[in-house]
Amino acid sequence: MGKPPFGPRLRRWLLPWLVAVAALANMAYPMYVHYDFSHSPDTRSYLRMAAGRFDSVRVTHRYRVLVPAAAAAVAAPVARLYARVWPQRPAGQWPLRFSFYLVNCVLLAMAGACWFNAARQAGASPEAAGLAVLAVLTSRWAVYGAGLPLTDSLYLLVTGLGYYAVRRGPGGGWALAIALLLGPLAKESFVFWLPWLLWYGRHSLAWPRQLAALALGFIALFAVHFWVDAHVGALASQSVSNALEHFDNVVYSLHRAASPKGLGELLSIFGFFSLLPPLSFWLERNRVPRSTVALFSPLGWAELGLLAIVAIHMLLSGDLGRMGYLAAPAFCAALALVFTHWRRLLPQVWSVR
């Protein structure tokens, strides 16, 4: 079969993106307006970067330049109109905060479109996939990522593109190439995704092409490192030292995850929707007679590998909830399968009662 016409392919991506943009813009707006930035050094770092000031930015953040640069570009025209629309707000960082809000809503909605199409590739219906995307976007971490001056949206887009390429197989090479190109600049911990992408993405994009895209991404990363280090007069060894320091967080993360507060943080990543996949799995296992096709049969080792990489991020970061949200692509696919086959589970719910 040949490729579908451009129109249907565009609708499969444009409509989920538009719905995700609308949802995020509504949910994240109060966060953008009312957040107390004195509690978040990360947001202050990215605001300074967007203003062209790198000297007082932590090593962890100073090379993630794409989102701050995009926000700075958007802020230039926004600043001319902002005072007319919101004259009650003082001049200063308000136009730049608004620009981060716009850029992050757009990028995170793109990630949502990737989740939607990956769930469709896993066998979910369009309605179920759309509902699952909206459910995942209700997470507080999506609201943070869209409403605040952060760069999580780009990293979520990169991981979403990678997961879509793995689910799509042949025909998803373009998504994998973009992920490998942008990944090194999105976050340093992208290196942990490389074995997973290279192995499970080999059916989407041949290894020589993967390596070529990855080489371009690392060349861009080295260029950014060189420019920023020269700009602030920093030593290149600072980046290596900073990366090694993250391993000190492993013991703290394990203790935190085992505490009641940590368990609550893990369960709150996707809220009550976190209960639906395990509950559906239990209901299907206890179904009599059992279905010949398991509910989660389309999912497998690729999803388990993705969860393992997310666990590494959580251990090294210490921020369990925020890093746990990186599991959104696989969780969205699982949730979409639950919504697709809810009629199969409903009689079992009544029988349990």
- Helix orientation angle between 342-352 and 328-340, rounded to the nearest 10 degrees: 70
Name the CA radius of gyration of the chain, rounded. 21
pLDDT band at 1 (very low <50, low <70, confident <90, very high): very low
Rounded Cα–Cα distance for residues 203 and 180 (Å): 15
The pTM (predicted TM-score) of the whole model is: 0.90
Helices marked H in 169-246 — which ranges? 173-186, 194-200, 207-232, 237-245
* Mean confidence (pLDDT) of the chain: 87
Share of the chain above pLDDT 70, in %: 87
Q: pLDDT tens for residues 35-94?
A: 887 778 888 899 999 988 887 788 878 889 999 999 999 988 887 777 777 766 666 678
Q: Return the higher-pLDDT residue of 230 and 246.
A: 230
Q: Tell the residue number behind the tokens 């109060």, with chain if given.
A: 30
Nearest partner of 239 among 229, 249, 230, judged by Cα? 229
Rounded Cα–Cα distance for residues 328 and 119 (Å): 11
Q: pLDDT tens for residues 118-162?
A: 999 999 999 999 999 999 999 999 999 999 999 999 999 999 999
202-207 contacts at long range (C-beta below 8 A, 24 or more positions apart): 203/169, 203/170, 204/165, 204/166, 204/168, 204/169, 204/170, 204/171, 204/172, 204/173, 204/175, 204/176, 205/165, 205/172, 205/173, 205/176, 205/177
> Does the pLDDT value for residue 244 go beyond 70?
no
Neighbours of 102 (CB within 10 A): 19
The secondary structure of residue 4, as a DSSP letter, is P
Residue 106's pLDDT is what? 97
pLDDT band at 347 (very low <50, low <70, confident <90, very high): low
Residue 295's pLDDT is what? 84
Residue 113's pLDDT is what? 97
pLDDT band at 340 (very low <50, low <70, confident <90, very high): very high
> Does the pLDDT value for residue 246 go beyond 60?
no
Nearest partner of 102 among 64, 50, 177, 37, judged by Cα? 50
Answer positive or negative: Cα dihedral of 345, 346, 349, 350. Answer: negative
Rounded Cα–Cα distance for residues 151 and 113 (Å): 18
Rounded Cα–Cα distance for residues 176 and 170 (Å): 11
Instruction: Number of helices (H) and strands (E) in the chain: give both, helices first.
Output: 18, 0
Rounded Cα–Cα distance for residues 164 and 161 (Å): 5
| Range with lowest mean pLDDT among 196-205, 230-239, 304-313, 333-342 | 230-239
Nearest partner of 137 among 161, 111, 100, 165, judged by Cα? 111
> Does the pLDDT value for residue 237 go beyond 60?
no
Rounded Cα–Cα distance for residues 175 and 162 (Å): 6
Residue 254's pLDDT is what? 79
Amino acid at 39: H
Of 124-128, 289-293, 295-299, where does the model show the most confidence? Answer: 124-128
Residue 169's pLDDT is what? 92
Q: Contact at 8 Å (CB) between 133 and 16?
A: yes
